Amino acid sequence: MASYKRFLGSFGLKRKALVIFLIFVILPTFGVGVVVQVQFNEVLREQFINSTKRNLDNVVGQLGEQTKMVEDIANYFILSPDMRNFLRTSPPLSSEQQAVLKRNIEDFLTFQLMSKGYIRSIEILGYNGNSIEMGEPFRGDETKWEEAAKAQKGGITWTEGYSLHSDWNGEVRVLSMFRILNSYSKITLPLGRLIIRLDEASIVGLLEKGIFKDGVGSVFIVGPEGQEILRTNPPSPKDLHPNESLLDKLSASGQGDLTYEVKGQRYLTLYKKMENTDWTLVAMIPEAKVSEEFRGIKMIMLVILAAIMMLGLTALIGFHYTIIRPILRLKKETSKVTYGDFNARVPVKSNDEISELNRKFNEMVETIQQLIEHKYKLELRERESELKLLQNQMDPHFLYNTLDMIRWTARLEQATKSSQLIEMLSKFFRSSMSNGNYQTTLRKELEFAQSYLYQYGGGSLRDRSGGLAARLAACAGRQSLPCSIRLRP
């Protein structure tokens, strides 16, 4: 704590304000902004994932409903008496019976084709030679799926997406269901083959529109053995497909989503299983596209963060101009006063506390200036008085020295009388000088009077001096009594 105080104490006011602004405004704002941005991105990502999962559930429900309707048609044909009679081998049907049964079956198939736009054609081929083909006529090699259906022995076989030639539309891609129709009474006896061909484009459109916006990402339908049943428009990169490793990771995650990397590009991957067909729908969305979904919101967050930073910077500038700068100006003017410049003044432009401090500073400097000027004048007068007193002291000393020189000259010339008079005159002048002292002793006053009287040689003056001397002696004997003496020249 002490080292912190020393460290902060070595800073100037500007640097302290900058450090305080940095520690308590910039860093907290930036840190909170980053945390909020990260948390907000997580929330948006979670919302996007949940929304995509709901869309995927809806698509799975619709696709499951379509495939279930197709399977129900196949089940209906097994249970339908008309279909059983139409495909029976014995007893043989008459032409009229065959026509009636065929018409009944065709009516049912016509209804199915009209009500279900995703079905392109329905083909029934009986092993008794009877056949019905409704919908769009197709030609192509489907031996692979026929053999797979025979191997199922009456079970439903769903094909992968494959191409056939349509007499109406040329080359098209379909997704078909193959099933061997067995006898109802003899379940192992095959009576014929049923093929229901679905429009692949219709299914792809359902997948794309139900899950993505603007065709972003790819959707795959994967069979129970990991084979690719169907995919949306060719993804980029071209070798992007859900392999066995990805499917294992999806199953192990337990959340239905994870991030998968392919050739350095990360994909948000979601999956959902279809119960009736045992298919798995896998949706793969590039993470870059996911981020683009939130770009607008991220920009708004960045603008808000930048606005907060700008407000903080504005507060720092305002703090500098309203508080720090006036204090630094006051410090500068105080330094001038320290070096003796008492003309220093701080401008007062408002009525806040700092302006009041500046006003008091100006008054203080003015008062100090007046006191210094007054003291200077007093000292100047005192020095003048001292010089004058010294001068007054020097003049008498010069006179005394001159009188002493004259007295000694008179003695050298054997002028005793003149020498005594000059000596008494010198004593008289010495006694008359008080040297600024307004108190003296009685003895000094007697000496002063004797010197004065000695200078006169007349008889009357001597008589008066003798009487005065007697009175002074009597007065001197009474030290505790007041004494009044009047001297006249």
Q: What is the pLDDT of residue 166?
A: 93
Query: 134: which residues sit within 8 A by CB, 6+ positions away?
Result: 106, 109, 110, 113, 121, 122, 123
pLDDT, tens digit (0-9, with 9 covering 90-100), for 391-409: 666 566 677 677 778 878 8
Q: Is the pTM of this model over 0.85?
A: no
CA 128, 132, 133: angle at the middle one, nearest 5? 140
Rg (alpha carbons) of the chain, rounded to whole number: 65
pLDDT, tens digit (0-9, with 9 covering 90-100), for 288-329: 877 777 778 778 888 888 888 888 888 888 888 888 888 888
> Contact at 8 Å (CB) between 358 and 388?
no
Determine if the peptide bond prior to 91 is cis (ω within 30°): yes
Q: Where along the chain do its domains lie? A: 41-293, 378-477
First to last CA, the chain: 91
Tell me how far apart the alpha carbons of residues 463 and 237 are, in angstroms, rounded to a whole number.
154
How remote is the C-alpha of 147 from its chain's centroid? Answer: 68
Exposure of 64 in the CB half-sphere (CA atoms within 13 A) = 16
* 134 closest CA partner among 159, 156, 112, 155: 112
> Contact at 8 Å (CB) between 195 and 162?
no
Query: 347: which residues sit within 8 A by CB, 6+ positions away?
Result: 329, 358
Task: Determine the angle formed by the axes of helices 13-21 and 295-319, rounding to 10 degrees.
Answer: 160
pLDDT, tens digit (0-9, with 9 covering 90-100), for 112-139: 999 999 999 999 999 999 999 999 999 9
Q: What is the pLDDT of residue 469?
A: 53
Q: What is the pLDDT of residue 460?
A: 41
Q: What is the pLDDT of residue 453?
A: 67
> Contact at 8 Å (CB) between 157 and 175?
no
Q: What is the pLDDT of residue 481?
A: 41
Q: To which CATH superfamily is domain 41-293 assigned?
A: PAS domain (3.30.450.20)
User: Which residues in the chain come in under a pLDDT of 70?
Assistant: 1-11, 212-215, 233-239, 391-397, 400, 428-440, 447-448, 451-489
Task: Determine the angle formed by the axes of helices 27-79 and 295-319, rounding to 10 degrees.
Answer: 170
